[in-house]
Amino acid sequence: MYDKIRNDELQDIINKLPGSLFSRHVYCFFSIESTNVYAKELAKSGAAEGSLVIAERQTRGQGRMGRPWHSPSCSNLLFSIIFRPPFSIDRAFSLTMIAALAVVDAINKITGLSALIKWPNDVFFNNKKVAGILTEFSAKRKNIEYVVVGIGLNVNWDISNEPELKHVATSLINETGRPVSRLDLLATIFEFLEEYYELLLKGQEELVYKRWNDFSMVIGKEALINSTGKRIKAKVKRIDRNGALVIEDETGKESSVVCGDLEVLFPSLTPAQR
């Protein structure tokens, strides 16, 4: 059903990865339906924490809310990681937080670009999406059994040739004007991710929470929020500990949005660019 790796480049990247929690159990594919789908199957059959599923190509890459995730072969990073944190489900969002922070920090360290986080699960640069995170989990009696964190990061894909996407998405090659090493990027993401995960395990989520808010591109902004079939215009005040968006409507009333999507209202942007 799945093509085990038959392209040297990704296998070479995996072979050169420095030791980390995420390089001990690696499942590397040339083509796969979705690394998240495979990682969930592995997690259900008892795979160890830190297991990594990585592919050059997905035939049915998944985004949030049933959307597809598009990526050409052999130019980006597409991977999923299994976590088994000893947390209750109300802390599951902290895994999305550390994934976004690790991606932002790695982009900054490798390319010098200052990317930002867009609630709930996107990494943006120049008001365009450069990475998306899909977090899925299973729980028993409110305790997490596993969390699968899937990351799609546009690295060396020239999106300026994609008329449908070029106004809403970008890649590191488009922003820096030069190819970026996927090995360096992946190794650096893992380095930061492990550090952040250790903070969570030590109960220092306050540090993670603060840093995530520091990198948020939505706090203090006017936004259109799509949630449970409604569209609300409001100001974003903060993100709470569970990842809910705390907003203030035009009457000054505060409320929380647990699940949804958001369009930051920049006066100069067209709807397609938000």
35 near ligand BTN, rule: CB under 6 A: yes
Angle at 95 between CA 211 and CA 89, to 5 degrees: 120
State both tokens at 221: 């902004």
Return the number of the residue (33 or 222) whose C-beta is nearest ligand BTN: 33
56 near ligand BTN, rule: CB under 6 A: no
Q: State the binding string over 122-161 for ligand BTN (x if CB under 6 A, else -).
A: x---------xxx---------------xxx---------
Query: What is the smallest separation between the CB atom of 61 and ligand BTN, expressed in angstroms?
Result: 4
Return the number of the residue (74 or 199) whose C-beta is nearest ligand BTN: 74
List strands edge to edge, sheet with 3-4. 3-4, 26-32, 52-58, 77-83, 143-153, 128-140, 122-125, 116-118
Query: What is the smallest separation between the CB atom of 198 and ligand BTN, expressed in angstroms?
Result: 23
Q: Which of 27, 56, 80, 116 binds ligand BTN (CB under 6 A)?
A: 80
What DSSP line would sit under 63-79, residue for residue?
Answer: -GGG-B----TTSSEEE
Return the number of the residue (81 or 187) whose C-beta is nearest ligand BTN: 81
> To which residue do tokens 């035009």 refer?
250
State both tokens at 96: 């999305």
How many residues lie near ligand BTN (CB under 6 A)? 21
Return the number of the residue (50 or 152) whose C-beta is nearest ligand BTN: 152
Q: Footprint of ligand BTN on residues 210-269 (CB under 6 A)?
A: none
Q: Where are the beta strands (DSSP E) in the chain?
A: 3-4, 26-32, 52-58, 77-83, 116-118, 122-125, 128-140, 143-153, 222-227, 230-239, 245-248, 254-257, 261-264
Q: Which one of 54-62, 173-181, 197-205, 266-274 is the stretch in contact with ligand BTN (CB under 6 A)?
A: 54-62
Q: Which of 51, 62, 174, 188 binds ligand BTN (CB under 6 A)?
A: 62
> To which residue do tokens 């998405």 refer?
169
Which H or E run contains 1? Answer: none
d(CA 269, CA 274): 6
47 near ligand BTN, rule: CB under 6 A: no
173-179: long-range pairs with CB below 8 Å, 24+: 175/111, 175/113, 175/125, 175/126, 175/130, 176/111, 176/112, 176/113
51 near ligand BTN, rule: CB under 6 A: no
Q: Which of 22, 69, 196, 197 binds ligand BTN (CB under 6 A)?
A: 69
Enumerate binding residues for ligand BTN (CB under 6 A).
34-36, 58, 61-64, 67, 69, 78-80, 121-122, 132-134, 150-152
